[in-house]
Amino acid sequence: MRYKTGDIVLTNDGKGERKILGVCDLVIFVSSINDFEMSGGSFTEAELGRHHTLKKKKWQPELGEVYWFVSHFGDTAAQTFVNDRFDKYRISIGNCFETQDEAMEELTKIKEAANNK
């Protein structure tokens, strides 16, 4: 099963989000739309997949894990996550990536945006 408790799904009709409250065998229990505390019913995995899209979670490193970021020198760099103010800042602005390729993609977007001005 691709869904797990705590996942967030987006409604395909654009009305909002639901939280997966629990997963039991073939049934997935979800919250009401945009009210994660109230039960909103249950779906099979196929039903949920037809009407909702799993919201991708932003990756965040664990203590001691290496992450990549776009540096102020216009390249990418790796750093060991120690949860200091620099790490927290990079996470807060979305400049924290699991791989160098992901950081390079972001750098390419930044350069393209700068060239289009």
Q: Which residue has the higher pLDDT, 58 or 71?
A: 71
pTM of the model: 0.57
| pLDDT recorded at residue 18 | 93
Within 10 Å of residue 58's Cβ, how many Cβ atoms? 9
Q: Mean pLDDT, the chain, as a whole number?
A: 92
Share of the chain above pLDDT 90, in %: 73
| pLDDT recorded at residue 58 | 78
| pLDDT per residue as tens digits for the range 29-60 | 999 999 988 899 999 999 999 999 988 777 89
| pLDDT recorded at residue 1 | 63
| pLDDT recorded at residue 85 | 96
| pLDDT per residue as tens digits for the range 4-25 | 898 889 999 989 999 999 999 8
Concatenating the DSSP letter of every residue in the chain gives: ----TT-EEEETTSS-EEEEEEEETTEEEEEETTEEEEEEEEE-HHHHHHHEEEPPPPP-PPTT-EEEEE-TTSSEEEEE----HHHHHHHHTT--BSSHHHHHHHHHHHHHHHHT-
Q: Where are the domains positioned within the chain?
A: 8-54, 66-115
Task: Over range 88-93, report the average pLDDT.
Answer: 92
In whole angstroms, what is the distance from residue 4 CA to residue 30 CA?
Answer: 11
pLDDT band, very low/low/confident/very high, at 76 (cuts 50, 70, 90)? very high
